[in-house]
């Protein structure tokens, strides 16, 4: 079975999903839909790859948040420092809604800083991963279902 699996589309999906979940500006939805449309990969493998890689990118944000609480933001390279406005919005959102807000880590603009904030607050990693994975997998499942209904 694996000998017929072309891993390059999955690698592309993994890379796009991972980077899109970090504090770097990127999107993975178009890659996901594009790969579904071209039938370049098994849809279930694509869904799992996107969900896991996107969650892994959020774990990097959580880890960077932990580093900041230990060493300060000035220790991060400038390109990895959070935007103060987005960071403030994410802090307010997390402060208002608490752990359920991690289910919305997939949201544009506030989602990535939200995962960073969870790290600065030392939110437990096991719960963090479970909540973020659930939310991100839900987003890709909705995209997949939407694609199936239109195709």
At residue 1, the pLDDT reads 45
Domain chopping of the chain, boundaries: 2-150
pLDDT by residue (tens digit) across 30-86?
A: 999 999 999 999 999 999 999 999 999 999 999 989 988 888 777 777 877 777 887
Q: pLDDT at position 79, please?
A: 77
**pTM for the full predicted model:** 0.85
Q: How far is the CA of 9 from the CAs of 35, 79, 135, in angstroms?
A: 7, 28, 23
> Given this model, what pLDDT does residue 138 score?
97
Residue 31 · residue 12 · CB < 8 Å: yes
User: Any residues with CB less than 8 A from the CB of 146 and at least 6 apart, and which?
Assistant: none
């Amino acid at each position: 079975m694996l000998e017929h699996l072309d891993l390059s589309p999955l690698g592309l999906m993994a890379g796009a999903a991972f980077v899109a979940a970090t504090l770097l500006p990127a999107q993975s939805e178009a890659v996901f839909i594009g790969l579904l449309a071209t039938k370049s990969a098994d849809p279930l493998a694509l869904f799992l790859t996107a969900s896991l890689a996107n969650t892994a990118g959020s774990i990097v944000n959580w880890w960077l948040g932990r580093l900041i609480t230990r060493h300060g933001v000035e220790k991060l390279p400038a390109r990895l420092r959070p935007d103060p406005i987005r960071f403030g919005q994410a802090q307010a959102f997390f402060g208002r809604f608490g752990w359920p807000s991690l289910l919305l880590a997939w949201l544009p603009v506030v989602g990535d800083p939200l995962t960073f904030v969870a790290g600065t607050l030392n939110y437990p990693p096991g719960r963090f991963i479970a909540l973020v994975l659930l939310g991100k997998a839900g987003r890709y499942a909705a995209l997949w279902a939407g694609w199936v209904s239109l195709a």
